[in-house]
């Protein structure tokens, strides 16, 4: 346990006023947002977050989102790239991840 606490302190890096922390991806491909960051943004179970991919910089950007209306969510979804996955493909992918 002591080793884990030390690792946590080492991973809590402050640069130019930014807080950067390392976290692990679980077997179910989930991540935990560290408590310090959840507290700053008032995040809790069910909070909405925005995940962006910057392919050029090879970065994943996670941002808290204020409550948005259903209309705003659909308008935003219209800007997403089309994919050719069928509902069956998506179910198969989900089965491979969780089963």
Q: DSSP state, 5?
A: H
pLDDT digits (tens, 9 = 90+) for 68-94: 666 777 787 777 778 888 889 888 888
Please list the alpha-helical segments (H only) found in 2-86.
Answer: 2-11, 35-41, 70-77
Query: What does each C-alpha distance from 78 to 29, 53, 71, 81 come to in angstroms?
Result: 26, 17, 11, 8
Query: Tokens 């179970």 label which residue?
Result: 45
pTM of this structure: 0.48
pLDDT at 5 (0 to 100): 47
pLDDT digits (tens, 9 = 90+) for 21-57: 788 888 888 888 888 888 888 888 888 888 889 889 9
Which residue range is the domain that position 90 belongs to? Answer: 2-98
Which of 50, 53, 80 lies closest to 68 in space, CA to CA? 50
Domain CATH for 39? 2.10.260.10
Q: How many domains does the chain have?
A: 1
pLDDT at 9 (0 to 100): 47
- Please give the angle made by the CA atoms of 46, 48 and 54, to the nearest 5 degrees: 135
pLDDT at 39 (0 to 100): 85
Q: Is residue 54 within a helix (H) or strand (E), and if so which, with residue range? A: strand 49-54
pLDDT at 16 (0 to 100): 55
Contacts of 93 (CB under 8 A, 6+ apart): 85
């Amino acid at each position: 346990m002591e080793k884990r606490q030390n690792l946590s302190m080492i991973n809590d890096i402050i640069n130019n006023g930014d807080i950067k922390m390392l976290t692990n991806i679980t077997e179910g491909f989930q991540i935990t947002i560290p408590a310090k960051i959840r507290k700053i943004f008032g995040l809790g179970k069910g909070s909405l977050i925005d995940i962006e991919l910057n392919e050029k910089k090879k970065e994943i950007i996670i941002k808290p989102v204020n409550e948005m209306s259903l209309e705003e969510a659909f308008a935003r979804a219209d800007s997403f790239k089309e994919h050719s996955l069928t509902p069956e493909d998506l179910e198969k992918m989900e089965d491979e991840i969780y089963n």
